[in-house]
Structure 1
Amino acid sequence: MVLNKMNGDEPEQEDYRSLEPDVIARGNILESFTESKEAQELINNLRLDHEDLILQETAIQKFKVIMNTYQEQPHLLDPHLEWMLTSLLDIIRDEASPPSLVHLAFKFLYIISKVRGYKTFLRLFPHEVVDLHPVLDMLVWQNPKDYETWETRYMLLLWLSVTCLIPFDLSRLDGDLSSLEGCTRVPTMDRILSVAKSYLVVSDKARDAAAVLISK
C-alpha cells in the first residue's frame, strides 16, 4: 500500500471501491417476480386480516417489502399487475366488504402504483362509462380529514382521472337533471371539479392526484 502511494498509484483499497457499484448492480439483477405466490396469498388473506389491526399492519409491511424489491426493475411486475388489480378491485366492488377491508385493499393498490408508477398501473384500471359514477360516488363519500385512509382517496382520484376520459361530453351522462321533487341535481362535470378542487388544499398526497384529475 505504501509503495503504491510512493509510485503515484491509487491505493488498492480505492480500486476495490471503484468496483463495488458494478458488483452490487449485478447482484441486484432479478429475472422475474419470484414472490408472486406470496403476494397472491397476502391479497387473498385480506378478507381475514382486516379484522385485526396487527394482522393488517403485518400484511402491509410484508407486501411493501415484496414490492420494494422491484423498485429498480418495476417492469418485472407487469405480467402480474392485472391479476393483482382484479383481486383487489373485487374486494373494493363487493358491497359486502366493510370499510376497513376496502381501505386495506386501496393501501395495497397504492403500494403497487408507487413501485410501478401510477401512469403505467392506471392503464389497467376499468374506465368504461359505467365506471364513472360509482368511482365518483365512492370518492365523494370519503372523509378528507381521515389521515389513516389517504391512500384510498389518492387512488380514487387517479382512477377518476381515467374514467372521465370518455369520448363524448359528460353532460350526456346526466340526462334530466330535474328530480321528481323539483330539485336540480348537480351535473357530473361540476361534481368532478368540485371534489377535485376540494383535494387541492389538503396536506397529504391526494393533492397530487387531484391535480392530475383536474388536468385531465
Structure 2
Amino acid sequence: MSKPSKQLDYHTIRAIMERFQEADPEPEGELEHVNVYTLVVAVALSAQATDVGVNKATRALFKVADTPQKMLDLGLEELTEHIKTIGLFRQKAKNVMKLSQILVDEYDGIVPNSRAALQSLPGVGRKTANVVLNMWWQQPAQAVDTHIFRVGNRTGIAPGKTVDAVERAVEDNIPADFQLHAHHWLILHGRYHCKARKPQCRTCIIRDLCEYKDKTE
C-alpha cells in the first residue's frame, strides 16, 4: 500500500459520509444468515475467504443447522463436508463446534450481545464481534477489514498503520450520526470502487474529496 494520505478535516469527512448516505441510505452486509447465530458462524467462516464463497457453502448448511444445538447434532464430520470449499475449513469447523458447545452450555443457546462475551468464543476475534454487534444489534461498532484499512488510509478518512489504529480513527473521525452505517459504506466502497490494484477513481463519488495521490485517470 502507498503512503497513507493526510488526515481529512471534519467537514470533508462529513461531506463524504453524506454522499455515501445519499447513494445507499441503508447499506447491508453481504453474508447470508437467518438469525444471529448463523451470522456469527458466517462471519467466523469468512476470515481469509470471500463472502461469495462463504454464502455458497452455508446456504445448505443453515437449512439443517441454524442453532447451536442443531450444529452439535449435525456433528463435526458433516459440518466439515459442508464447508470444505472455504479456506482453513478444518480449523474453522472445529471452532464452530466449540463455540456452539459453549453457547449451549454457558448461554442456553443464546448468542451474547457484548463484545467481550463474543470474543471469548473460539474463532471469534474483535473484527467478527464488531460485525455481529453492528449488523444484528445495530451498535456503531467498527470492524476493520482489508477494505476499510485501505479506504481509510487512501482517502484520509481514517489513516493508521495498524488495524486497531484505523478502527480508532474511524470511531474518532466519522461524525456520530454516520457511525452506524460507516462500516458497510467503507467496506462496499473498497470492494467495488476503491479496489486494491485498480481503484475506479474516474467514477468515484468522492473523487474530489479524497486525498489519494495516485488516483487513476
TM range (shorter): under 0.3
Higher helix share: 1
Larger Rg: 1
- TM-score w.r.t. structure 1 length? 0.20
Kindly indicate whether structure 1 or structure 2 has the higher relative contact order, using CA contacts under 8 Å at least 6 residues apart: 2
- TM-score w.r.t. structure 2 length? 0.20
